[in-house]
Structure 1
C-alpha cells in the first residue's frame, strides 16, 4: 500500500464549531504501533453534544487539545506496522479499539486498562486531567484517511464483516462487556432498559448469541419495540414504559422471582424512576450493570442490595479481547449484524451527518463516515 505524505481529515478548531476538511501530514507509527487506512468511522448519536457541550457539562473530562481530529470507532486496513509488531501485517482488515491507557501502571499490568488514571478515548474525550498525556501520544481519531494506534488496540475483523459494520463495534462492545459482567448465558432471563436504542439493540443481539433464554426489553416507541421482538419472537418480550411499571413487567415474566440481570442502557436525560424500577426487578443474587449513564444522584438502598446479595456495576467500555470475541462471533455466523441499517457519508459531509443523526431509526440506524 502506497502511503502518501499528506492526508485529508476533518478537524475541529473551536468547541461547538463545524469540523473543517483539511490536509494534514500523514502520521507515522511508532515501534509498537500500526498505521491504519480508515475506511469507515462510526458516528455515535451523542457526537454533536460532545463537540458542542462537553466542556460545559463535564469540565473534569477533557476533550483532546484543539484543533483536533475526532472519530471514535474506526475500521479499515493496516497500511504499515512498527518494527516491533509481528502478529499484524499490512492489508489486515481491522477495527481500532479507541480505549487508551498508559500501559505500565499496576492496573494496566494486570490487564485492567480501563481503570488506568490516564484512560481516554482516542478521538473523543478523556476521563480525567491525566488523559492529556494519552492525547499527546495518540492525537488523531478516525475522521481522517489515516490514523495511528497501538498494536494492542487492534481487532482483526473477518471478511463477512463490512467496514461499516465494524465501525459499530464501540457501542456493541459496551453492551457485550455488560453481558460478560453478568455472565449471561443459557437459562438466564435479563432485563434491558432502552432495548431499542443504540446500546440496547447490541444487548439484544449478543444476548441472543450468548444463549440467554429470555430477554425482557423496555422502551417508549412501541413500533421500535415490535421490531426488536421480531428478532426472536419466542425469546424477547417487550414493554413500553408508558404502560406502567417496569418492575411489574419483569416480575410477571419471572414468576415473581425477578430477573437474573438488569442492563440499563438509558442515557443521561432518562428518568431516574425507570432505572430504579429496573433495580427492583432483579432476583436475590442478581446483577445490575449501568452502561447508559443515567445522570445525577440516584437514591439506592444499599442495605437492600446487601441483604439480597446483589451487585451494581458501572461499565464504561470494553476490552480489545472482548472486541476480538465479537468479531469472531460474526465470523462463525453466531451473530448476524444485518438488522443494522447503514447510512454512509463521505468525509466532506461529516457536519451534515452529525446534525442529521437525530432522525435515526432508533438503534437500528448505523451512521458512518467513509474517508
Structure 2
C-alpha cells in the first residue's frame, strides 16, 4: 500500500482535514505501525489554536495502537506482526530528567501527533510529528510497547491516559486508606483515576463534576471503594463566588481530604477543592487551569499544603499499566464509550469539545 487516509491539521484552520497522503517510509531505526485504534483528546485542538504545533500541515493523534507492518534494518526488539501501542513522548533520552524517570520534563519534550513544548531544537519532533489519526504511523523503534493479546487495541490506544492517571496518583503521595477528591471526574482523566484508585490504597473517593446524572453513571467504576459525589449543578447558584464547593466537600469530610487530583480546565473549582484539604494534604493538578488561586501563599504555608503540577506520564507508568492489564488486575474496556471511523474524526472532536453527551474515552478506528 502506497497511499493512506489521514486526518491533518492545517495552518490557520481549527478543523481536521481528511487527505490521502503517502504511507511514510520507515528509516533504519523506524517501525511502521498499521493503526487499529487511535485515541482522541480535546486538548489537541486547544493546542492547535494556541500555535503549539511547530509543523503544519501535520497528522494529529498522539495515542495509537496497532500491528507492526514494517521494521527498519537497525530497529530492535519488535518484529512484523507484533501487536503494539505507541508511546507518544519524544525526548532526548540522555538528560538528567530522562535518566531519572522524569522524561516529561526533558527540554526536548514533545509528543507525536501533538505539540512541542519548548523552544530548543527538537530533531525527533521534526521527523516524527505526524500522529496516529491515519491508517499508518511511523515511529522510532524504542517508542513501541508490546501489547498483550488480552488487551484490545482500543484500550491499548488509551494506555497513555491510564498512565497519566498513575503518574498523578503517585505524585499525590497518598497514605494508606486515603480519602481522595477527584475533580472533573466524568471525563477521560477522571474516569481513569477512579478505576486506578484502589491500586493506591484509596478507601474513600469523592467525585466532583458538573452533572449529578453523569456522576451517578461513573460511580460504579470505583468498585468496592466507598464513593460520594458532589455535583456542581446541585450547589447554590452562587457557589463559585461564595465557596460552595469547599463547604460541600467539608460537609462530607470535616477533617479535610488527604489529596485532590484536579483535572478542571478552568474556573474556581480548583481553588475551592484545595481549600478542602486536610493539613498536610496534596493537590495534584493536570487540568491546565489558567484561573489564579484567590488566596495568599500564607494559607498554603499555614496548612502545609502541597501543590504539585504534572503534565504527562513516563515509560515506567506505562509499563505498570500494561502489567495491571496483562494480569487482569485492571479492566479498562468499559471506559471506551465512543468509537468513530477515521472519516468521522471531525464529528468525534466536536463531540469531545461540546460535551453534550457523556464521553469517558473516545477512539478512532481507521
Name the CA distance, whole Å, in 1 between partners of 2:9 and 2:288: 25
Extract unaligned runs of 5+ from structure 1: 56-61
Query: Given the two structures, how large is their TM-score scaled by the length of structure 2?
Result: 0.88
Distance 1:260 1:79, change over 3 A: same
Q: Which residue of 2 aligns with 1:179?
A: 169
**Aligned residues of 1:43 and 1:73 also touching (Cα < 8 A):** yes
1:149 aligns with 2:132: no
Extract unaligned runs of 5+ from structure 2: 237-243
**Aligned residues of 1:185 and 1:213 also touching (Cα < 8 A):** no
Q: Which residue of 1 aligns with 2:262?
A: 264
SS at match of 2:59: coil
1:27 aligns with 2:18: no
Q: Which residue of 1 aligns with 2:203?
A: 213
Distance 1:185 1:19, change over 3 A: farther
Q: Runs ≥4 in structure 1, deviation > 4 angstroms?
A: none
Deviations 1:293-345 (CA, angstroms, capped at 9, x unpaired):
11143335322323333211111010122112112212222212133244323
Name the CA distance, whole Å, in 2 between partners of 1:149 and 1:138: 6
1:124 aligns with 2:106: no
> More displaced, 299-308 or 235-244?
299-308
**Aligned residues of 1:209 and 1:334 also touching (Cα < 8 A):** no
CA RMSD of aligned residues (A): 2.3
Query: Given the two structures, how large is their TM-score scaled by the length of structure 1?
Result: 0.87
SS at match of 2:264: coil
Superposition pairs of residues 280-295 of structure 1, within 5 angstroms: 280-295=275-290
Deviations 1:258-287 (CA, angstroms, capped at 9, x unpaired):
1111111111xx322x21111112122211
How far off is 1:10 after superposition? 2.5
Name the CA distance, whole Å, in 2 between partners of 1:226 and 1:40: 28
SS at match of 1:289: strand
**Aligned residues of 1:196 and 1:225 also touching (Cα < 8 A):** yes
1:343 aligns with 2:338: yes
Name the CA distance, whole Å, in 2 between partners of 1:120 and 1:351: 24
SS at match of 1:95: strand
Superposition pairs of residues 6-85 of structure 1, within 5 angstroms: 6-16=3-13, 17-31=15-29, 33-51=30-48, 53-55=49-51, 62-85=52-75
1:306 aligns with 2:301: yes
Q: Which residue of 1 aligns with 2:310?
A: 315
**Aligned residues of 2:5 and 2:18 also touching (Cα < 8 A):** no
**Aligned residues of 1:119 and 1:131 also touching (Cα < 8 A):** no
Distance 1:94 1:134, change over 3 A: same
SS at match of 2:195: helix
Of the three residues 219, 236, 256, the one matched with 2:227 is 236
How far off is 1:41 after superposition? 0.6
> More displaced, 274-283 or 332-341?
332-341
1:334 aligns with 2:321: no
Deviations 1:72-125 (CA, angstroms, capped at 9, x unpaired):
111112233344443333322222121111223332233322111111111111
**Aligned residues of 2:230 and 2:249 also touching (Cα < 8 A):** no
SS at match of 2:319: helix
Name the CA distance, whole Å, in 2 between partners of 1:204 and 1:352: 27
Of the three residues 190, 211, 214, the one matched with 1:224 is 214
SS at match of 2:50: helix
Name the CA distance, whole Å, in 2 between partners of 1:131 and 1:275: 34
